[in-house]
Amino acid sequence: MVLIAGLEGSASPTPPPGFLDAWTWSMDDARFGGLSGLEIAENGLDFIALSDRGAITSGQLSRDAQGRITAISAQPFQLLKAHGTAALLAARADSEGLALAPDGSVFVSFEGAARVLHYPRLGGSAENLPVAPDFRHMPLNAALEALAIAPDGTLYTLPEQTAQQDQPFPVYRFRNDQWENTLTIPREGSFLPVGADFGPDGRFYLLERDFRGLSGFASRLRRFTLTDAGFADAKTLLETPVGLHDNLESVSIWRDAAGHLTASMISDDNFNLLLRTEIAEYRLPD
């Protein structure tokens, strides 16, 4: 998340190639807002959305014949639970990353107290994953922003910021009940990672954000192949002009009915009236 929200650009920037649509979402729910996580099912309709204040919902998208969103139906937001029946304490509820496992369970990564929790059932109690030593030293507002789960069930998470501006971003991999810290993703320019997903093609997608103050936000989506040697074949799929979209913080990659690779990204309005919650969708090169 960002602490200061920028104003939208006054011009109407031209979307990059592949733009499908952007749907502004509102909901009569006091917990609605600050959305930092989105997972869309293979059918392109069922979804889970996560707030950065420890609340989660599930619902369904309606689409027209061209695949554009026409309506959103969602359950009331419910607070994430700790390891028990009580809700997470507010100081430990800065939920940022969301990953949907093949078995339907979800994983959530957090800033503040940097960690990852597993929810076997939406609305149920959390299972605590081990905390990597590095997590304890991450900045409160720039910790585990992005989270993704590979087809084999391995988790990957990375922080929004590093200690030095010229350092690559460390990627933490959870497998065999422990975190590994052997992977990195190169830093390119001033963009910072905010969301990640593995696509149906098995490749790793990283959503990045660049906050330009009063001008607003720019977003970038990069794709990588994960090899035994690490992340390779980096390719920038899209980079949005400043002010086109609001604070895009999460990405979900899926295929539409015609087999087209699609990226759905949701914005965090920071509970700020100057920003909006929108789902921006792009068709990606395959």
Residue with tokens 């759905």: 264
CA dist., res. 245 & res. 240, Å (int): 8
Helix, strand, coil % over all residues of the chain, rounded to 5: 5, 50, 50
Per domain, the residue ranges of the chain are 19-283
Spatial CA neighbour of 204 closest among 279, 126, 260, 152: 152
Residue 155 has pLDDT above 50, yes or no: yes
pLDDT tens track for 70-94: 999 999 999 999 999 999 999 999 9
- What the block records as the tokens of 150 is 């590979």
pLDDT reported for residue 11: 55
Q: Which CATH number fits domain 19-283: 2.120.10.30, 3.40.50.1100, 1.10.10.10, 2.40.160.20?
A: 2.120.10.30
Contact between residue 270 and residue 283 where contact means Cβ atoms under 8 Å apart: no
Are 41 and 48 in contact by the 8 Å Cβ rule? The answer is no
Q: What is the pLDDT of residues 88-104, one digit of tens each?
A: 999 999 999 999 999 99
* pLDDT exceeds 50 at position 2: no
Q: Give pLDDT, residue 267.
A: 97
pLDDT value of residue 274: 85
